[in-house]
Structure 1
Amino acid sequence: MVYEQEPFNAEPPRTALAERLRTPLDTFYCRNHGPVPVLTPAEWRLSVDGMVERPLELSLDQLRHRFEEAEVAATLQCAGNRRADLVEVRDIPGEAPWGPGVTSSATFRGVRLADVLAAAGLTPEAAHIAFVAPDIAPAADPPQPYGGSIPVSKALQPEVLLAWAMNDRPLPRIHGAPLRVVVPGWIGARSVKWLTRVTAQATPSDNYFQATAYRILPAEADPGQAGPAEGISLGPIALNCAILRPDDNTHLPAGPTGITGYALAGEERTVARVDVSADGGDSWVQADLDRAASPWLWQHWRTILDLPPGEVEVAARAWDSTGALMPASPADLWNPKGYANNSWARIRLTCS
Structure 2
Amino acid sequence: MDSKKVNTVKVHKIENLKLEAGGMRPDLPTFRADEVSKHDTNGSFWVTYKHGVYDITKFLPSHPGGEQILNAGGLSVEPFWNVYGNHKTEEVFELLETFRIGNLHDDDVVDHSDEELWAKEPARDARLLVRTRRPFNAETPPQHQIAHFDTPNELFFVRQHMPVPELEASSHKLRISIEQGGRSTSRDFSLEDLDKFPQSQLSAALMCAGNRRSEMNKEVKPAKGVGWSGGAVSNALWSGVYLRDVLLHCGVDVDDVEGKHVIFQGSDVDATGANFSTSIPLAQALAADARVLLATRMNGRALPPDHGRPLRAVVPGAPAVRSVKWLEAVTVSERESPSHWHQKDYRSFNASVDWASADFAGAPPVYGMPVTSAVCEPQNGARAPVRGGRVLVRGYAYSGGGAKVVRVDVSPDGGRTWLAARPTHAAGDSPGRHYAWTLWACEVPVQPGQDEMEVWVKATDSNMNTQPERFAHIWNIRGILGNAYHKVTFKLQH
Task: State the TM-score, normalizing by the size of structure 2.
Answer: 0.67
Q: Does 1:134 align with 2:267?
A: yes
Larger deviation, residues 304-313 vs 242-251: 304-313
1:87-236 matches, within 5 Å, as 87-92=217-222, 94-123=224-253, 124=256, 127-138=260-271, 144-156=274-286, 157-223=289-355, 226=358, 228-236=360-368
Corresponding position: 1:57 with 2:191: no
1:24-61 superposed Cα distances (whole Å, 9 cap, x missing partner): 00110000100111112222211111337852111111
Taking a change above 3 Å as real, the CA distance of residues 71 and 51 of structure 1, as seen in their structure-2 partners, is: same
Structure 1 position 37 matched with structure 2 position 178: no
Counterpart for residue 124 of structure 2: none
Report what 1:47 is aligned to.
175
Shift of 1:283: 1.2
Superposition TM-score, scaled by structure 1 size: 0.93
**Distance in 2 separating the partners of 1:320 and 1:153:** 23
Shift of 1:268: 2.2
Q: Report the equivalent of 1:287.
A: 421
Which structure has the larger Rg over C-alpha atoms?
Answer: 2
Alignment of 1:268-283 (within 5 A): 268-283=402-417
Local SS of the residue matching 2:480 = coil
- Shift of residue 325, structure 1, vs aligned partner: 1.3
Tell me the distance in 2 between the aligned counterparts of 1:158 and 1:149: 15
* SS of alignment partner, residue 26 of structure 1: helix
- 1:85 aligns with 215
**Distance across 1 between alignment mates of 2:347 and 2:411:** 32
Greater helix content = 2
Contact 1:54 1:119 in 2 (8 A): no
Query: Which residue in the other structure is 1:307 paired with?
Result: 446
Measured in 1, the distance between the counterparts of 2:284 and 2:349 equals 24
State the distance in 1 between where 2:240 and 2:297 align: 7
Cα distance in 2 between the residues matched to 1:201 and 1:95? 29
**CA drift at 1:70:** 1.3
Task: Give the SS at the match of 2:206.
Answer: strand
- Shift in Å, 1:226: 4.2
Q: Which amino acid in structure 1 is aligned with residue 171 of structure 2?
A: E
Question: Could you tell me whether the CA contact under 8 Å between 2:240 and 2:296 is conserved in 1?
Answer: yes
Which residue number corresponds to residue 400 of structure 2? 266
Query: In the alignment, is the contact (CA less than 8 A) between 1:223 and 1:337 conserved in 2?
Result: no
Going from structure 1 to structure 2, the CA distance change for 1:158 and 1:95 (only over 3 Å counts) comes to closer
Distance 1:227 1:208, change over 3 A: farther
Shift of 1:83: 0.9
> Are 1:321 and 2:456 matched, yes or no?
no
Please tell me whether the aligned partners of residues 224 and 477 of structure 2 are also in contact (alpha carbons under 8 angstroms): no
The residue that corresponds to 2:201 in the other structure is 71
3-state SS of 1:155 partner: helix
2:155 paired with 1:27: yes
What root-mean-square deviation, in Å, do the aligned CA atoms of Structure 1 and Structure 2 show?
Answer: 2.0
Identity %: 33
Amino acid at match of 2:265: V
Deviations 1:222-262 (A, max 9, x none): 44774542433211111111111111111235541111111
Contact 2:179 2:185 in 1 (8 A): no
Question: What is the deviation of 1:137?
Answer: 3.5
Instruction: Report the AA paired with residue 154 of structure 2.
Output: D
Give the SS at the match of 1:9: strand
Q: State the Cα distance separating 1:97 from its structure 2 match.
A: 1.4
What is the aligned partner in structure 2 of residue 339 from structure 1?
480
Is the Cα–Cα contact under 8 Å of residues 173 and 328 in structure 2 kept in the other structure? yes
User: Are the counterparts in 1 of residues 347 and 360 from structure 2 also a CA contact under 8 Å?
Assistant: no
- The alpha carbon displacement at 1:219 in A equals 3.2
Given that residues 130 and 139 in structure 2 are in contact (C-alpha distance below 8 angstroms), is that contact kept between their aligned partners in structure 1?
A: yes
Corresponding residue number in structure 2 for 1:348: 489
Letter paired with 2:215? D
What one-letter code is carried by the residue in structure 2 that aligns with 1:13? P
Which deviates further from its counterpart, 302-311 or 192-201? 302-311
Counterpart of 1:81 in 2: which secondary structure? coil
Do the aligned partners of 1:223 and 1:336 also contact (CA within 8 Å) in 2? Answer: yes
Q: Distance in 1 between matches of 2:163 and 2:331?
A: 23
What is the CA–CA distance in structure 2 between the aligned matches of 1:58 and 1:292, rounded to whole Å?
A: 32
2:107 matched residue in structure 1: none
Q: Note the alpha carbon deviations across 1:140-167, whole angstroms, 9 max, x for none.
A: xx77321111111111244111000000
Matched residues, number:
348
Following superposition, the deviation at residue 191 of structure 1 comes to 0.4
Give ranges in structure 2 of 5+ residues lacking alignment. 1-128
SS at match of 1:107: strand
Q: What is the CA–CA distance in structure 2 between the aligned matches of 1:228 and 1:334, rounded to whole Å?
A: 16
Per-residue CA deviation, residues 174-203 of structure 1 (Å, 9 max, x unaligned), is: 100110000111110100000011000112
On the 8 A contact 2:350/2:474 being kept in 1, the answer is no
**CA distance, structure 2, for counterparts of residue 54 and residue 39 of structure 1:** 25
Larger strand share, 1 or 2: 1
- Distance, in Å, in 2 between the alignment partners of 1:252 and 1:262 is 18
Q: 2:378 aligns with which of 234, 246, 249?
A: 246
TM superposition outliers: structure 1 runs of 4+ over 4 Å? 224-227
* Structure 1 residue 69, shift from structure 2 partner: 1.2
Instruction: Note the alpha carbon deviations across 1:118-157, whole angstroms, 9 max, x for none.
Output: 121114367211101121235xxx7732111111111124
CA distance in 1 between partners of 2:476 and 2:459 (Å): 22
| C-alpha separation in 1, matches of 2:404 and 2:168 | 39
